[in-house]
Amino acid sequence: MDFVKELQRLVHEAFGVEVKISRPKHQKFGDYSLAAFDLQRAFPGKSVQEIAAQVKQVFSGNELFEQVVEVGPYVNFFVKKNLLAKAAFEEPTFEKKTERVLIEFSAPNVAKPFSFNHIRTTLIGAALCRIYREVGYDVIAFNHLGDWGTQYGKLIVAFQKWGTEEALHAAEDKVDYLVSLYVKFHKEAEIDTTLDEKAREAFAKLEQGDATYLAQWKEFRDLSVKEFDRVYKRLGIEFDQYLGESDYNKDIPPLLAELEKKNLLVTSEGAKVVELEGMPPCIILKSDGSSIYATRDIAAALFRFNTFHFHKMIYVVGAEQKLHFQQFFGVIKKMGYDWIDNVHHVSFGLIKLATKEKMSTRKGTIIKLSTIFDKAKELAKQIIEEKNAELAKESSLDEVAEQVGVGAIIFNDLKTDRNAEVMFDWDKLLSFEGETGPYVQYTHARIKSILRKSSLSSQEIAAGDTSLLTEQEELLLINKLNAYTEALIEVINQDKPHVLARYLIDLAQTVNNYYAKVRIVQEDKQSEAARLRLLVVVADRIKKGLLLLGIAAPEQM
Ligand code: ARG
């Protein structure tokens, strides 16, 4: 049973209001809590203390609760132990919802490496997709390839000047080759001021549909997509829609016509713009008649709404693009589309390396993602070889090293509030101790090893009598298991996967503390079965939670 929901239902039934249910700081104060303040609407003129007393009185006789207490303006509920245990051992389920949520994430740029710059959006976005789905939403995972804009004019010019087809095809990593040209362009453009103008012209030609330029551009695009797909495959990420900015080119003329018809376009210094309140105007067409990033985003949003009729759409994109989103959302609002109120920019902070330097493609200070994953895997392999001589001999070593290495990077990212900066520190993120992916994975593997060591069969364990679980540590674990559903709902409410990552750290710490204090394998086989049954559920929950974050849970490590 979902106690939060049930409590909310009961309060609504009794007082006709919606309340927030939270958990007291410490279990000794109760399992769930509500603030009397939330009920003021139902009790005009009453103080919060009076309301709390009233709520306590109404629920004291309820068969769900062992005890209901007032703590100042709060009412705390102690749920009956057997009900808590029963709920903890149930498979968490969610009702299917009819709402469709479109989640745009990743959105790397063609002819640029898929690097740190895009890892956060990819990891956060993919985790949100899985969690929204798990909770019952109809999710559309959407990619928005950066494949159009003046930078492709730069690339074409650079390729004409310094590149050759032979070198491109001979290159081991074709995207690297293109990136090197792009870097060269920026270096040279500092000296040769005509280069930028040439790039603008090249892009204008591309926009006008020049066949040679288009073929060139398409080649760059296809090569890059192949590269991105390798990363997605390694991370187990799939998109339902994989479109590029260029796919919306055809939607731009009708968009312009609509803006014109709605009298929203203003000419400013030769450009066409839409004026907005409290922020700079949104450029729609530059003076040379070419569209910009924002123009394509407006067209894309209209297309997505008209095609998929989403209830909600989120864009998982770095915080530095905040103004861009405010501007083009503002234009859509001015066009009269109120659905834009259900569209959100889910922003995030940067990844900081130990050197505290921001990476930049232009300067060439990029570390490739695949290189990072490979290194993580290699380091994970070394650690496992040191710690687990047995596993080191097995053929699964390579697979486990990949799961631990890549998992460590994913977890390091997702355990951080998306608004904060992610600190990237090799030693910390790969450690088997502390708040890391390997720590959570290791906790899972350790439970699995305890289960393998027990003389009890899985049937005997599954039949364990949960009413024997009365130790303080056991009650705490039971409570944590029940908090799983709440953690997922919280992730959705805030679009913050770190809530789940933090939950997993907490669950792992609680279970580690449990078997440090309480004897699991013992003489009393009844008690052993009950305790192992609890561990089975904990391991299961850890595994499920990790999977939702995009991380595998190896059986041994
Ligand atoms: N490709 C862009 C970049 O790498 C991000 C695109 C974000 N999504 C969007 N709809 N504008 O900066």
Does the beta carbon of 107 lie inside 6 Å of ligand 1? yes
Residue-wise pLDDT tens digits, 466-522: 999 999 999 999 999 999 999 999 999 999 999 999 999 999 999 999 999 999 999
Does the beta carbon of 438 lie inside 6 Å of ligand 1? no
Distance from residue 316's CA to the centre of ligand 1 (Å): 9
Which residue's C-alpha comes closest to atom 5 of ligand 1? 107
Distance from residue 498's CA to the centre of ligand 1 (Å): 22
Which residue's C-alpha comes closest to atom 10 of ligand 1? 297
Q: Which 3-state string (H, E, C) describes 62-106?
A: CCCEEEEEEECCEEEEEECHHHHHHHHCCCCCCCCCCCEEEEECC
Q: Measuring CA to CA, how many Å separate 303 from each of 239, 288, 343, 542? A: 17, 25, 14, 39
Does the beta carbon of 110 lie inside 6 Å of ligand 1? no
Nearest-atom index, ligand 1, CA of 109: 1
CA pair distance 477, 532, nearest whole angstrom: 13
Domain spans of the chain, in order of start: 3-79, 100-353, 369-549
pLDDT value at residue 35? 95
Distance from residue 510's CA to the centre of ligand 1 (Å): 40
Low-confidence ranges of the chain (pLDDT < 50): none
Which residue's C-alpha comes closest to atom 11 of ligand 1? 297
**CATH fold label, 3-79:** Gyrase A; domain 2 (3.30.1360)
Residue-wise pLDDT tens digits, 244-289: 999 999 999 999 999 999 999 999 999 999 999 999 999 999 998 8
pLDDT value at residue 360? 57
Distance from residue 108's CA to the centre of ligand 1 (Å): 7
The total number of residues shown for the chain amounts to: 557
Distance from residue 150's CA to the centre of ligand 1 (Å): 14
Core vs surface per residue 88-99: b (16+ CB within 10 A) or e: bbeebeeeeeee
Which residue's C-alpha comes closest to atom 4 of ligand 1? 108
Does the beta carbon of 112 lie inside 6 Å of ligand 1? no
CA pair distance 135, 484, nearest whole angstrom: 12
Please check whether residue 419 is in contact with residue 248, taking contact to mean a CB–CB distance below 8 angstroms: no
pLDDT value at residue 132? 98
CA pair distance 264, 506, nearest whole angstrom: 52
One fold for both 100-353 and 369-549?
Answer: no
Does the beta carbon of 109 lie inside 6 Å of ligand 1? yes
Q: Which 3-state string (H, E, C) describes 458-526?
A: HHHHHCCCHHHCCCHHHHHHHHHHHHHHHHHHHHHHHCCCHHHHHHHHHHHHHHHHHHHHCCCCCCCHH
Q: Which residues contact 178 (CB under 8 A, 6 or more apart)?
A: 111, 155, 159, 168, 220, 223, 224
Distance from residue 297's CA to the centre of ligand 1 (Å): 9
pLDDT value at residue 1? 84
**CATH fold label, 369-549:** Isoleucyl-tRNA Synthetase; Domain 1 (1.10.730)
Does the beta carbon of 105 lie inside 6 Å of ligand 1? no
CA pair distance 443, 408, nearest whole angstrom: 14
Q: Measuring CA to CA, how many Å separate 371 from each of 121, 196, 375, 429? A: 18, 32, 6, 16
Which residue's C-alpha comes closest to atom 6 of ligand 1? 107
Sign of the Cα torsion 411, 416, 419, 423 reads negative
Burial of 546 (0-12, 13-18, 19+ CB in 10 A): buried
Q: Token pair for residue 148?
A: 């159009």
Distance from residue 65's CA to the centre of ligand 1 (Å): 50
Does the beta carbon of 315 lie inside 6 Å of ligand 1? yes
The architecture that CATH gives domain 100-353 is: 3-Layer(aba) Sandwich (3.40)
Nearest-atom index, ligand 1, CA of 317: 7
pLDDT value at residue 395? 87
What type of residue sits at position 554? Answer: P
CA pair distance 156, 149, nearest whole angstrom: 12
